[in-house]
Structure 1
């Protein structure tokens, strides 16, 4: 390469090295701050992190060699990108930055105590776990009514074990979905899987927290009118509301449990949801509670500080939930 021949531009290689470093940093951060949720949650996020790390290592290994070759003038054929070459490389960099942002955003809220203790089996409840669900099965059942639960967005499924365990202790099998990437809409088939795995349960209350409740409402509306003997007998919403008006299409009882200091599913949003639900829907407000207190996973972005202790909030939520499920069980027995 002569002295007047333009050297190949090195900025794409430097950008690739920066993206690789940032990707590895986000993967390391996600693993160190949410290890329990990454390892014990749905495998989708762990796979995405693993693939991203491998891609970043490969990119990071190639980038310094590319920079070295360019600085030594060993690749004269690459010295002209052209307009479209610059645009293409710029687009790849933007996509890479977007991927890194998505990895960070998808980091789950990890379960904390007392949810972890509630995951232990004892003489009253047997806890089993697969890659896609958690089951709390009572040793002694109380009828054929089970509860299927969809977690809130990005929340570790284990975080709901403590608030839902009293339902299992009262004799009702509880199945908690592990959602791919922590997104309830990606777990729509999970309810059908739960029904297939529990042929002994003929009636289900579908439930969910936040976005999980929105998806539970979709499942309830579809399943409650699916055939002459619908499997869904109730809808239980935790700090949630349906995406569309189901007041006429939903034919089963509904219970909405919300928090007065919820910064996400605010009291105003819950009040507005009344017209979207059947007229006989039951609304219970936990005074002084917040959005994140429906599970055990710490504070949540956008939420308010609660005035109620976690234990008190959890007890009231569990009691209201059990009262609703038991009322359905009693009604079905008549």
Structure 2
């Protein structure tokens, strides 16, 4: 009598359980591989132009996905089973890690600069723009500037979005450094001004500036380093530490009256934190996204003034601060 061997019988005569079609590690592996790949493809131009930390994080996450998939294929179904409670704990931890890490990578998607802002990276006859992995330099093509401005972008905003406006500032004889913070979060580049100040002894007067969260970072640096900088320009922002007693610091607060994030009420509430002679410039009808060229921002207010007119006033207020004796 001929017997048909069972599908689970191996060459040694032992019976192995059939591999499930949808294994837990396969699902995780696909998520860790596909999500970073999709994010990179969606924001490729912005990510490659920014701080390399985000691209490295996406690549590392994709590698984790590859490892999970390879590990699943190499699992021996005959190995001793793991205790059920350890399996449950391990899966819960893996799910939480997946949600936290991949969720953060999705949230960190940058607001890309407009085509016009990207074009401004080419510079002009009177302004030279140099792109580096961790910063952008904007400087006049003639003369040696003795005034410097270090600018911190808003959270998750493509640093190139500020090049058109800051090029106008640079035309007044100012060398400008736009920080490219890791993951677009200024708090991860708190000490960035040190590098520029140390490398440019020809600059005798330094001003810090920043948009939104970038302004908070700039103000914090000014607070922690009294005497190192002489000016602070807050674009739709305010400090978290008091600068009210800083007689050595010239401050300009530029804000939009229709801003949906840094509202007029926020600016008013922050007045006690700033010196009494702070120059306030409320730009009538301006919104949060007008402080850069990165399109509209979800949750922002509705503007009642044109972007070019609002930006003209923002630049003028910043230049006025730089010209303060």
Normalising by structure 1, report the TM-score: 0.87
For 2:310 and 2:240, how far apart are their aligned partners in 1? 26
Structure-2 separation of matches of 1:34 and 1:148: 26
Distance 1:52 1:25 in 2: 10
Distance (whole Å) between structure 1 residues aligned to residue 238 and residue 24 of structure 2: 44
Distance 2:288 2:129 in 1: 26
Q: Which residue number corresponds to residue 114 of structure 1?
A: 116
Contact residue 145 and residue 175 of structure 2 kept, 8 A: no
Q: 1:176 aligns with which of 169, 175, 178?
A: 178
Change (3 A) 1:208 1:141: farther
1:228-250 superposed Cα distances (whole Å, 9 cap, x missing partner): xx331110000000112221246
After superposition, give the CA deviation of every residue in 1:12-37 in whole Å (9 maximum; x if it has no partner): x7333222322333223322332222
1:77 aligns with 2:77: no
Contact 1:159 1:297 in 2 (8 A): yes
Pair 81,6 (structure 1): closer, same or farther in 2 beyond 3 Å:
farther
Q: Residues 10 and 245 from structure 1, CA distance in 2 versus in 1: closer, same or farther, beyond 3 angstroms?
A: farther
Give ranges in structure 2 of 5+ residues lacking alignment. 1-7, 10-14
Cα RMSD, aligned residues only: 2.3
Aligned to 1:33: 42
Q: Check conservation: 1:19, 1:97, Cα contact below 8 A.
A: no
What are the Cα deviations for residues 99-155 of structure 1, in whole angstroms up to 9, with x where unaligned?
110111111111113211221133211111211110001123486211110001111
The aligned counterpart of 1:152 is 154
Could you give the per-residue CA deviations for residues 144-168 of structure 1, whole angstroms, max 9, x where no partner exists? 2111100011111111001111111
SS in 2 for 1:114: helix
Structure having the larger proportion of residues in helix: 1
Q: Give 3-state SS (helix, strand or coil) of 2:242's partner.
A: coil
Q: Does 1:236 align with 2:239?
A: no
CA–CA separation in structure 2 for the residues paired with 1:195 and 1:290: 32
Structure 2 match to 1:126: 128
Point out the structure with max Rg over C-alpha: 2
The one of 193, 205, 208 aligned to 2:207:
205
Kindly indicate whether the alpha-carbon contact (under 8 Å) linking 1:146 and 1:173 is maintained by their aligned counterparts in 2: yes
Instruction: Look up the match of 2:101.
Output: 99
| TM-score, normalised relative to structure 2 | 0.89
Runs (5+) with no aligned partner, structure 1: none
